[in-house]
Structure 1
């Protein structure tokens, strides 16, 4: 039957042979049916388009079916399978999951892991191609494969209502054996470019060739090793082909290019394709890649940047589409107890709808949840409700202050009676409450729906619920049409169809759950790729495996480095070669996949008259060198004229057809045709004619200004800017601690106080209570403690100690406040909080003991705590400075009176005392300690005592427990204080805000988050400060805050 077989080269020659064979079949009757069996859908599309041009001298073609062997099996088995349905990936996985759950055997330790089912499914694809005797051999082996075969048989023994592709092939074979006349309906069968067939495909093709009138067009490469697998496979199918050893026609590439890395390689290909498209239509150009990573993404990205239209397999799997990622993230929320980060990660994946169907204000809700201290679980209800209560209380307080009773249905009317400023504040508070309520309702609705889903025990019920959930979160596919990119619309349709089919799993695995639903969807979508573009429109991008049947004018084959193609051989852990050899010829060995890759590459080299091969000689991501693929050596030898060229000497190959790009810049500099706008811009900049670009121009101005020695607007020079506070000339109050922050770092003051930007503190990252909050807890506890005893008349007299009852009271107050910190999510992990809480209560006990000793020594008594000035209706303390008066506001932590009429003003500190020890030499410590002098003035006015009769000190009650640092005032120190305050407020009003990073690097913690926002170091900022601090405009400020700086 040799006359039935036509041998041909791949590429255009194969299509010409196909045209001739089809023309011969239709020579007598143009409507004579012809069935062309192609190796793949892509090859089928190429063949169909080519035949449509006409055969046998006639335009067009009719009565022709171009199909794959699997599709032909579907046609032959119509009506043969009754009510049985195709086994989807979900059904197949459920079959194995049911078998594994009932009798896991030696896999019991990993039976519950989703990867186990996936591994069994993958192994099952191979085992389904084996006949029963072969399975018996494996089942009798002393290997893991025996257990896998047992589970495999158990799984498919449950599939009475299902069929898969291998069974379809078997049924089709049986149909032709029973009714060979059915093959006559196919007309002449043309077996076009067959490749290596599976066992069941081989059996079907053998029966088909016995029953039908057939012809075969066999592609040959001219290399025995490459052609042998196909030859052997066809002989088993009854197609008696011969070997062809035509070494003279051995395919090689006509040009080789190599670049420093994959990115440069793909950039060059994009430029070449763009240039070729001037004379060659895009659909006559193919770019085939050796590996998906990184080439599929790189090619699509660079071609898109160059404006090149492409088609072919997509880059992202359905699993990676935004809608699918978002839906899977929603389903996964219960696993993490609705962790705040998980909720907003799910919202960020895709446009989830709010409860009212509108868009979710994700950024606003994230800030709200962070402010409320939400971490997970019931925090969404408890902590959001607490925040609502606090905001409503603030609104009520504002209304009450204005003398308006806002309540019930008269709320709006009452609000209208407020003054403009109060009304605006109330409206803002009410708006925030409404936003929080929407967030709370949204999460509550999600939790309720997912809890309902977790209670569903059948797949049919879970399927209906999942479809409803998808519509609730994102909308039905028809609603999304026109609002999303096409690939997302496609993903929505596929997801909904998959969800609707889940009900069929009831017949396989009766038990359903949300966790299983996720596993099913992950398995279903992991490898599912959607196509990009329409075949025939634009350049064809595909893996090298798609080369069979391809015919173009020019083909680029990229990624031909040894580690990418063939790459590393990964053994199958379940069905290793040692197991496969037990059934010779039944299961392909690992090395056969290497042979397949080589054959596919040689086919690619024969797909066009002009073939370009490229590879990267390095990987800049991993900082390693790379070798060209072993299969590229014949091309390098042919082009260089060195048939004995060794693989290790490939760099010595020289030819006009071997091109090299030493670097990205060198290639960009010399290329005649940059591919993208970015490349044109880089060329223009290098030529000294940069394009006009506001962003680049501004960036260059910034870099030049920061590199200069003088202060600039990019370093904190805002002189002349309107709107800056002038505390000396305007009747606005300022706290001494605020001015201290400016002296410590003017830039930090500017960002925090004027721009109101602060570092983000994520509730879930709070492991322990912060020093700021623990300090506030100590202050608030002591203040409430003193106030309660004052109200009860229980404060100790002069020199009298605190009692044990007093200690218990203080502990109770601190414990209650601590519970509030817990409720707000500020206390950290419960175990760490328990330890810190005990430490705080212990420190409060010691604090009272120390205070008892101190008051005994000074014959004093506590008279007040938290004495405010400049706030809550109390007048500020005025500090006269050059050019005006600064109005100070604040609160004195503790005031004692002595039996001889003196007052002692104390500022309680819970941190370290190191930075305060310079007070003896400088009362303000370079402007960073401004509290005590103004506290003395406030106390003098509040209690009617001469300022000279008041002592002031800092009292350290935790880190440096027992340390007291006093600040005795005299006229010189008061003058120094006024001058320093004047310098600080004058610098603020002038607009001087240079960053002043700490001199030493951050080691254990970050001292200034504004100078070191990414927390990886402030070295560059410190060097810039040291260079710019000599600017004359900063002279007075630097003399204050950095007196040791040299000029």
Structure 2
């Protein structure tokens, strides 16, 4: 695209040259010869059906000379006002008109040789001679006031510019006689536009909005690019999120069954479903993944239908199934529309096809609700598409890709201006203010590198080659002179000028020297040390935000002198009148205190407990071991996940391999299915006996089948990685058989149940009631991976783990819960006894089996009878914490990790330093004592806890 843009610019410039000049230019280098050849070929291809500016000018000259008296009667006297750079074709037309009627040339000269060179040349092309101006030896005329400020960066420049406009307006200057101009567009046009809009000051002139980046422009270009970008989920969803895409839906408010209405697509909901379905790219992938996901969601919905407590999950899964199928239908239709059959074969057909896409997908029926500016730019997009349809005959068979590139170039070149001249502050490059009478001119960017700007040589036609055209090709080296001329003209024409120098560039961490032209015009610039210093010197705030900031600054200065506190901040008028600021101060004060407040997860302190939290031991709530363990790990995560029901969404694009969660589920399914078949057939070996060869072979067969099934669902990552992972899983199954033999021999046990569910959807048994002490009980649900019978009527409860055993190394009889993080073994032991009719006094044992190479085929466990009281004490502490509304964040210590340990503590993945610091400050609050006694019983306690009202700066 960059080369196409450069060739387009070169073609326009070369159109001014005669044949001899083109030959001389082509002789400069092979590259220049290629550029000239392409230019001539394009001109020849377009000559039959199109005319360029030069041809139109020549035709106009011929018409004028054919009947000059008629031209004189129709036009009357002509004034050429402030000519700048004029091409030969433009000069020829003006000369012809000048010969036919009275003509006056009003040319402006500055007295600076470099600045006047282009004007002198243009006047000469018109057949006139510029009166020699007095050579400049000083600053602007006596009638002009020129001031200069040196500020920190471009953002601060714009703040001072807007303040200057506000001060001028308060003094009676009309806004239409004020201008804010600059030498380079980036970053000033956006900063100035945003600042004036924030201040409610009308503006006209340049804008950061372009036809290409308008709502319809960018949406259409992005839609046409979906094909070339493989219909990837990221690209499609980014387009849906930013485009005015609408879909046709039945109109429930109409009695007509065939009535429909158009509404915006649910892009956020579709994004969640596409991620959950693990969609990657390609229409076939969309079909497979979304279809499979819809089937899975429907099955899950049916699975939860019979459980009243889990009915909300069933409803959510059913909605997900409906949305995923709706998304699939939309994507399939979009793909078909972007791959039309038969394909368009002419520019006119391509333009018609594009117009249908706009009408169908991009607000064709809803434009009336768009802002006026967007509707105007949308009309320009429509016209650009229509113009491309006129290119028939220039290309035998244009492609969709060529159409997209041509449309982008067309929209890039479509200049856009905001408002009307005189209706507000003029904003734009400095040459936009030429000839405009101003009372105030503010010039931004007066630093070397931006005014004058650095000019890189043209890659296709450098200046040394352009010289052979005799000045008819503009050189990059001439542009600083144009900028200088425009600056001098604007400063001379304005009653007051303010030149702004940015000392630094925070975007690039660089220092910047004042422009040579600033020194010439204003001498030494007054330095404004900082944003705060600039705010202090402001007599009248430019807008409400600046007023509020100044109020806070005044409060800060007074606080420094009088040591006032947070309460005085709340009395500032700008704060007192805005509830959101008062609440923000309350939140900030609370979080920076040493007390655990409602803003830190202490819902009891905020009197919110009864409205959002059901007590797990209250009789109606059913919980699980993993849910209780989650509270111990991070109460805030428990609150988000199980109270507010906010779930983190995985991003499938980064998963080149099977996820640890899917891998663990796969191994569980393999072992469950294999062992269940062995139990059903009575083929389980006696305690101490090895598995027979037939059942060893059968385990591998089951493993192969489940691996193929998971691969068909698209949940195994890239094929190359999956082949390695699949072999590793099957190898682990072989090792598992030996490990299983060893464990059964060790405990003299024999498996009697697998995936023993209770309280789960479609499980044979309901929730199990567990006595937790103090006369309280709670309903527990779950699914036990494996239960084994041991000698003398005892039992062994097993939970499979496919990850590392590192986090379980300290688990044992001395610490059976690891700070409340491991409760499964005892709770599952109690549930298994209830379900299988095993006495409470019978021996029991619980163990985690690490059934992978990563876990080194090890086991960790303890005797459940001896640990029961200790585990139930931890359960009691957790139940009380939930019931008391205690949900503080408990982030991991902030060290670098290649993963995010808790999506709820670190939702943006930027680390938990601030959250960790807040927790350390509040550790001695009595409200946290029971929680910390559970998870960190050996902690050190501060001897001088911070006062609640203290708030570090």
The answer to whether TM tops 0.5 is: yes
One of 705, 715, 721 as aligned partner of 2:590: 705
Corresponding residue of 1:386: 292
Distance 1:810 1:255, change over 3 A: same
Corresponding residue of 1:684: 551
Q: Are 2:390 and 1:504 aligned?
A: yes
Corresponding residue of 1:771: 660
Segment of structure 1 superposing worse, 1024-1033 or 562-571: 1024-1033
- Number of equivalences: 894
Corresponding residue of 1:561: 447
Specify the SS of the correspondent of 2:392.
helix
Q: Are 2:636 and 1:744 aligned?
A: no
Corresponding residue of 2:947: none
Corresponding residue of 2:706: 817
Corresponding residue of 2:226: 333
One of 445, 455, 472 as aligned partner of 2:333: 445
Distance 1:365 1:492, change over 3 A: same
One of 797, 800, 808 as aligned partner of 1:916: 808
One of 18, 36, 43 as aligned partner of 1:149: 36
- The Cα offsets for residues 300-340 of structure 1, whole Å up to 9 and x where unpaired, read as 11111111111112222111111211111111112223222
One of 953, 958, 963 as aligned partner of 2:858: 963
Specify the SS of the correspondent of 1:452.
coil
Shift of 1:985: 0.9
Matches within 5 A, 1:648-687: 653=524, 659-687=526-554
Distance in 2, matches of 1:979 and 1:475, equals 61
- The Cα offsets for residues 346-404 of structure 1, whole Å up to 9 and x where unpaired, read as 112222011443221222222222222222222332222223333444555677x69xx
Distance 1:830 1:555, change over 3 A: same
Q: Are 2:675 and 1:786 aligned?
A: yes
Distance 1:603 1:436, change over 3 A: same
Shift of 1:898: 4.8
Segment of structure 1 superposing worse, 123-132 or 588-597: 588-597
Shift of 1:1034: 2.6
Corresponding residue of 1:323: 216
- The Cα offsets for residues 517-568 of structure 1, whole Å up to 9 and x where unpaired, read as 2101111112423221122212222211123222223322222222211111
Shift of 1:826: 3.2
Q: Scaled by the length of structure 1, what TM-score is found?
A: 0.81
Q: Are 2:257 and 1:362 aligned?
A: no
Corresponding residue of 2:738: 849
Distance 1:613 1:950, change over 3 A: closer
Shift of 1:423: 9.1
Distance in 2, matches of 1:835 and 1:791, equals 33
Shift of 1:841: 1.6
Shift of 1:777: 1.3
One of 998, 1009, 1012 as aligned partner of 2:892: 998
- The Cα offsets for residues 901-939 of structure 1, whole Å up to 9 and x where unpaired, read as 553322211122223232132122222221112222233
Shift of 1:428: 6.2
Distance in 2, matches of 1:398 and 1:293, equals 56
Corresponding residue of 2:781: 889
1:710–1:1028 contact (8 Å) kept in structure 2? yes
- The Cα offsets for residues 921-963 of structure 1, whole Å up to 9 and x where unpaired, read as 2122222221112222233333333453333222111122221
Distance in 2, matches of 1:425 and 1:914, equals 34
Matches within 5 A, 1:243-262: 243-245=132-134, 247=136, 251=140, 254-262=146-154
Corresponding residue of 1:488: 374
Q: Scaled by the length of structure 2, what TM-score is found?
A: 0.89
Specify the SS of the correspondent of 1:456.
coil
One of 805, 810, 819 as aligned partner of 1:926: 819
Q: Are 2:353 and 1:465 aligned?
A: yes
Distance in 2, matches of 1:285 and 1:944, equals 90
Segment of structure 1 superposing worse, 514-523 or 804-813: 804-813
Distance in 1, matches of 2:208 and 2:668, equals 59
Corresponding residue of 2:565: none
Distance in 2, matches of 1:141 and 1:659, equals 49
Corresponding residue of 1:311: 204
Distance 1:934 1:612, change over 3 A: closer
2:183–2:483 contact (8 Å) kept in structure 1? no
Segment of structure 1 superposing worse, 700-709 or 234-243: 234-243
Distance 1:604 1:1044, change over 3 A: same
Distance 1:229 1:533, change over 3 A: closer
Specify the SS of the correspondent of 1:903.
strand
Corresponding residue of 1:935: 828
Corresponding residue of 1:205: 94
2:894–2:911 contact (8 Å) kept in structure 1? no
Distance in 2, matches of 1:501 and 1:809, equals 69
Shift of 1:857: 5.1
Corresponding residue of 1:164: 52
Matches within 5 A, 1:115-126: 115-126=2-13
Specify the SS of the correspondent of 1:545.
helix
Specify the SS of the correspondent of 2:468.
coil
Distance in 2, matches of 1:770 and 1:888, equals 28
1:547–1:607 contact (8 Å) kept in structure 2? no
Distance in 2, matches of 1:452 and 1:390, equals 32
Distance in 2, matches of 1:454 and 1:547, equals 52
Specify the SS of the correspondent of 1:994.
coil
Distance 1:430 1:934, change over 3 A: closer
Shift of 1:750: 2.0
Segment of structure 1 superposing worse, 774-783 or 849-858: 849-858
Shift of 1:508: 0.3
Matches within 5 A, 1:597-636: 597-636=483-522
Shift of 1:677: 0.2
Shift of 1:211: 4.0
Specify the SS of the correspondent of 1:525.
helix
1:453–1:514 contact (8 Å) kept in structure 2? no
Distance in 2, matches of 1:380 and 1:912, equals 34
One of 745, 749, 759 as aligned partner of 2:648: 759
Distance 1:628 1:990, change over 3 A: same
Shift of 1:858: 4.8
Distance 1:988 1:421, change over 3 A: closer
Distance in 1, matches of 2:893 and 2:654, equals 28
- The Cα offsets for residues 448-501 of structure 1, whole Å up to 9 and x where unpaired, read as 11111782222221111110110001243xx44531112210121111112222
Specify the SS of the correspondent of 2:469.
coil
2:829–2:864 contact (8 Å) kept in structure 1? no
Specify the SS of the correspondent of 1:195.
coil
Segment of structure 1 superposing worse, 727-736 or 939-948: 939-948
- The Cα offsets for residues 843-899 of structure 1, whole Å up to 9 and x where unpaired, read as 112111221233345554322211123443334041332251133322221123357
2:303–2:314 contact (8 Å) kept in structure 1? no
Specify the SS of the correspondent of 1:862.
strand
Specify the SS of the correspondent of 2:129.
coil
Specify the SS of the correspondent of 2:206.
strand
Distance 1:454 1:913, change over 3 A: farther
Distance in 1, matches of 2:319 and 2:746, equals 55
Segment of structure 1 superposing worse, 684-693 or 436-445: 684-693
1:733–1:889 contact (8 Å) kept in structure 2? yes
Distance 1:760 1:623, change over 3 A: same
1:878–1:887 contact (8 Å) kept in structure 2? yes
One of 1020, 1032, 1047 as aligned partner of 2:914: 1020
Q: Are 2:721 and 1:832 aligned?
A: yes
- The Cα offsets for residues 59-93 of structure 1, whole Å up to 9 and x where unpaired, read as xxxxxxxxxxxxxxxxxxxxxxxxxxxxxxxxxxx
1:877–1:934 contact (8 Å) kept in structure 2? no
One of 159, 164, 168 as aligned partner of 1:276: 168
- The Cα offsets for residues 991-1045 of structure 1, whole Å up to 9 and x where unpaired, read as 2222222346242433233223322322332232223222222323222210121
Specify the SS of the correspondent of 1:967.
strand
1:882–1:982 contact (8 Å) kept in structure 2? no
Matches within 5 A, 1:940-955: 940-946=833-839, 947-955=841-849
